[in-house]
Amino acid sequence: MSFLSGFIAIIGPPNAGKSTLLNKLIGRKIAITSPKPQTTRNRVLGICNGNDYQMIFMDTPGIHKTKSMLHKSMVKSAETTLMEVDTVLLVVSVSEDIHGDNMKIVLWHLKNSAKPIILAVNKIDLTKKEALLPIIEAYDKLNCFESIIPVSALYGDGLDALKKVLIGKLSPGPQFFPNDLTTDKSEEFLISEIIREKIFYETRQELPYSSTVLVEKIEENRKQNIVIIFAAILVEKTTQKGMIIGRQGKMLKKIGEKARIDIERLFSCKVYLKLFVKVEKNWSSNTRSLRKLGY
As a whole number of angstroms, the longest Cα–Cα distance in the chain is 63
Taken in order of first residue, the domains within the chain and their CATH numbers are: 4-172 (3.40.50.300), 187-292 (3.30.300.20)
pLDDT at 33: 83
pLDDT at 15 over 60: yes
Residue 1 one-letter amino acid: M
Q: What is the pLDDT of residues 247-261, one digit of tens each?
A: 999 999 999 999 999
Least reliable range by pLDDT among 23-37, 149-163, 184-198: 23-37
Closest CA to 7 of 152, 173, 187, 189: 173
Determine if the pTM surpasses 0.95.
no
Q: What is the pLDDT of residues 215-256, one digit of tens each?
A: 999 999 888 889 999 999 999 999 999 999 999 999 999 999
> What confidence category does residue 64 fall into, taking pLDDT thresholds of 50, 70 and 90?
very low
Quick one: average pLDDT of 89-109?
Answer: 90
Q: Which residue(s) pair with 56 in the sheet?
A: 7, 47
**DSSP code of 254?**
H
CA separation for the pair 50, 66 (Å, rounded):
38
Beta strands per DSSP E along the chain: 4-11, 44-49, 53-59, 87-93, 117-122, 147-150, 171-172, 212-221, 226-235, 270-279
Which of 78-92, 117-131, 281-295 ranks highest by mean pLDDT?
Answer: 117-131
